[in-house]
Structure 1
Amino acid sequence: MLVTYLEASRDLRETDSILFGAALAVCHIIGAKVSTSGRASDQSSAIPAWRRRIEERIAKARALIGRLICYRSGNNRSTIERTVRMAFAGTNVSLSQPDITQKLTERIDDLKQRIAAWGKRIRRYTERSTRFNQNHLFQSDQKRLYESLERPMVIGTGPAPNQADTIAFWRGLWSEPVNHSEGPCTEVVASQCASITTMYPVIITLDDVAKAVSRAPNWKSPGIDGLHHHWLKGFVVCHTVLARQFQEALNQKSLLSFFKTGITHLVPKDQALQSWHAILDKNLIITSNISTMHL
């Protein structure tokens, strides 16, 4: 079916829609969960399920410790007494026996030990995951690994920059039209480039597309179509059509707008977030002055 639809595709937009429909059909057939909400706005989805379960156990254990301490201090409210009875359910401990204070202390100590053991389990799994990620990153991108070791990224600490100021700053750089004066230097560059020989015509082949797809990371952030690279690796029959249509786009010197459209997420990587805009403003002013003096 995919081959039949691809043969009737007229341009890259239709091919992208066909591939997206095929990917969606595969997800429905195998029962995979399809997210239509886009990129996650918080980091809760990045927390593994096992860690969330352990953190829920720790939270419940701490709440139970608080109830047991209140009951041991003489707070006999019905809700607290009900919770204490449930804590000793399945045991021979009765709230009316004379050594109930000792039993409460033993129960509290047992819960504290469990919390400590769960905390050690989280730290052990986190360290193992960190070592695994570092080993994988060492094989794929050593420069990025060394940068992360020298200056680890700080996430969620310190005050964030004001959203309105950030939008106003970048809108002033990218949204307002600017008339640039080319100056006499462009004529010098044009005269120097006159002797450069013309580049040979580029021919995009099936092997070019196959190699580019094989080198692409599977789960790198997709474009606005939401189609990840691993689908292009699986749908091998689309490589011939992509090579032909990319060649047509190159010959016509035109590319569809959705290939040039994306979403930019501003992710500050330093604690000094408030001084970020001031430093960038200063650098832009210095660069502008140097360019003016050069011209």
Structure 2
Amino acid sequence: MSDVMAWYSQRISGFEEMNFEQRREAVKSKFDDKPHTKTTLKEVFRLKPASDEKSPYSYKNEFGTWVYCYTVAQCLPMRALSTKPRSQAQNDAAKKLVRLAKESSGEGKAVIAARNLRDSSTVIIDTETTGLDGKVIQIALVCSVSHEVLYKSFVATDEPIEQGAYAVHGISESMLEGAPSFDSVSRDISSILGSRNWTAYNTQFDYGALKRTKADQEGKQFCWIENNSGCVMYDIAAKYFGPTNKYGTISLANSLGCAGIVFEGRAHDSAVDCVATSRLVEFVASADL
């Protein structure tokens, strides 16, 4: 019950059970000078202000907008609410409007992005690096549909691994002994990807790491790096679950927590993170619209 309904119900017996016309008459006889907002007039009395009437009272709401109020006597009856059952066409139109509203919301856009990613068989990539601005030392590819690990490899590097990075992913320089070069790894990835695009949980980070690792090397085997599309964090997770910081982002761990998904292994292993990302995409893509 609204505040207005409660106020009148305490002062006019049976007010809540009255029809709109009875409410108008009851109020006119006792509280003719009480002003109401247009919303209240419509919902409680089915009235609207006459076009030539001036508001006797107004105020500025919390959003800084002026709200104009009118008495029942200043108003005209609105068209009676229809008691005729809605047609199937009307019901279908209402459902369509609801669906379109959902699709245009942040959550809806996230669901659509997740479905597009899944339906296009975009491959999910994750990298581990020597540091935040370092080079790739581990990479994995996972199918966004089957969650299958398509490829995983350490990558040789001559760049030392920062202590902070090691504390996160646990990859030591000794673990990279005998690892293939980035040139060799790129040939494998190019063959696996073919014409497909790739994405990542944080595409900006992984793309930057791949570009730094490639550096000035040339060749067709590196062309796949440019075939990235979208970002799971920005396009899906942050829009669906909401950002958790001032940068508008949300960590993979927090996103998985919201979805009730657990890592299938040690976090910050490229394959484990890839599989988790693919399952997160599936979770959002399966949401109702």
Greater share of residues in helix: 1
Please, what TM-score do these two structures have when normalized by structure 1? 0.23
Please, what TM-score do these two structures have when normalized by structure 2? 0.24
Greater share of residues in strand: 2
